[in-house]
Amino acid sequence: MTITKEPSAPLAVVLGVTGNQGGSVVKALAESDKPYRIRGLTRDITKPAAREFAAGGVEMVAVSLTSDNAADARAVFTGANIVFMVTNYWEHLDVTREVAEGKMLIDAAKAAGVGLFIWSGLESIINVSNGKYPNVYHFNGKGEITEYGRRSGIPFVNVQSGWYASNFWKLQGMKPKKLADGTFELALPVGPQTLLPVIDTPNDYGLFVREAIECPEFGPGSEVLTSGQDITVGDMVSQLAEITGKKITYRRIGDEEFMTATGMPPSVALEVLESLKYHEECGYYAGKTTDASRRHLARPTRTWADFVRATDWSSVLA
Ligand SMILES: NC(=O)c1ccc[n+]([C@@H]2O[C@H](COP(=O)([O-])OP(=O)(O)OC[C@H]3O[C@@H](n4cnc5c(N)ncnc54)[C@H](OP(=O)(O)O)[C@@H]3O)[C@@H](O)[C@H]2O)c1
Ligand SMILES: *[C@@H]1O[C@H](CO)[C@@H](O)[C@H](O)[C@H]1NC(C)=O
């Protein structure tokens, strides 16, 4: 990593540095030929990922960024030229909490005079679908935070996160299942032509954040739509089968069957069901294309096939 401590270099404060997105942001800034100072935030600076970043030159700071902790947020943002923020809905499944934390962080950045605020948002599915799919809280809450950030007056960029390539590999209820005849099946409540902006997040998400910071086309007020490759679920399954040498088929199943087959708690299964149907009907990014967002990346992104080849599937396709 080429991270500097030179006071003349811009200071980037990165939330979620021990996670998929924040870790990727640090990696991408460290790859840049422009120097950055980086302050990484975590609740636990003793965990291995935190120690590794510290050894690489990241200033690691322990902080818990909950909505009752605005003073600490303002303190860790002080002096920042750039802040990257992500919220983690899946840790608590509480959209009210997610939105409150997002708004608090925007207010804190405003108070600290941050130069560029980069947020990992998602579309408001309830709005884009005109109320047809109201229950996808992990998208809707992020849409609300985006709207708040845009109206706050701070220099704000929304770098929306694509569909994680790891979902079919690690998410319970989203992995291919073994059938009685020994072959595998991926069964989802949408057609095989459903297109997704698939991204190997730890490897590539940060590239788009770097683009948002370094490329003049993406200043404050802009939106970046991340994707390693836009690919249909049907093609994902056939490429997975071809590369791993396993027989894997895709099947569209009914909503009720999906809800019970996933094994997720009912409220979570409903979120996932509605999100998939929204992706099929409206498009993950509400019909916007990812072309312009991919034009000025510093290096190529991984395709789905690249991700499949780089991943050990033995526990999934056993
Ligand atoms: N799966 C998908 O396809 C997909 C697609 C688009 C968007 N997303 C969204 O991605 C988000 C998760 O991002 P991720 O994958 O990067 O998460 P992750 O890998 O699970 O990591 C979460 C990070 O957030 C930090 N964090 C959580 N609560 C914190 C708090 N109170 N104070 C300080 N830091 C805190 C954690 O730090 P410590 O634990 O070290 O404190 C950790 O670094 C979710 O909201 C999800 O909706 C997912
Ligand atoms: C959703 O639509 C409502 C009603 O038009 C509007 O008030 C709100 O600002 C929209 N929210 C987002 C996140 O776009």
Handedness of CA 241, 246, 250, 255 (dihedral sign): negative
CATH match for 11-163+199-227+286-301 among 3.40.50.720, 3.10.20.30, 2.170.120.12, 3.40.47.10: 3.40.50.720
Strand order in the sheet with 229-232: 163-164, 195-199, 229-232
CB-ligand 2 contact for 147 (6 Å cutoff): yes
Ligand positioned closest to the Cα atom of 121? 1
Q: 43 with 63: CB under 8 angstroms? A: yes
Residue whose CA lies nearest to ligand 2 atom number 2: 127
CA of 88 to the centre of ligand 1 (A): 4
Give the integer Cα–Cα distance in Å for 214 and 151: 23
CA of 127 to the centre of ligand 2 (A): 6
pLDDT for 173 equals: 85
pLDDT in tens, 243-301: 999 999 999 999 999 999 999 999 999 999 999 999 999 999 999 999 999 999 999 99
Ligand positioned closest to the Cα atom of 147? 2
pLDDT for 255 equals: 97
pLDDT in tens, 129-156: 999 999 999 999 999 999 999 999 999 9
Strand order in the sheet with 116-119: 59-62, 37-42, 11-14, 82-85, 116-119, 156-160, 223-225
Q: Retrieve residue 264's tokens.
A: 């997720």
Q: Which of 99, 127, 136 for a ligand 2 pocket mutation test, highest count of atoms within 8 Å of Cβ?
A: 127
CA of 87 to the centre of ligand 1 (A): 6
- Asked if the model's pLDDT at residue 303 lies above 60, the reply is yes
Q: 264 with 198: CB under 8 angstroms? A: no
CB-ligand 2 contact for 201 (6 Å cutoff): no
What are the φ/ψ torsions at residue 247 (nearest 5 degrees)? -85, 115
Give the integer Cα–Cα distance in Å for 222 and 249: 40
Which atom of ligand 2 is least distant from the CA of 126? 1
- Asked if the model's pLDDT at residue 102 lies above 70, the reply is yes
Domain with CATH 3.40.50.720 in the chain: 11-163+199-227+286-301
- Rounded to 5°, angle at Cα 27 from 110 and 2: 100
pLDDT, mean over the chain? 97
pLDDT in tens, 9-50: 999 999 999 999 999 999 999 999 999 999 999 999 999 999
pTM, to two decimals: 0.98
pLDDT for 1 equals: 53
Residue whose CA lies nearest to ligand 2 atom number 11: 144
Single-letter residue type at 28: A
- Asked if the model's pLDDT at residue 52 lies above 60, the reply is yes
- The mean per-residue pLDDT over the stretch 90-113 comes to 98
pLDDT for 175 equals: 94
Three-state SS for 6? coil
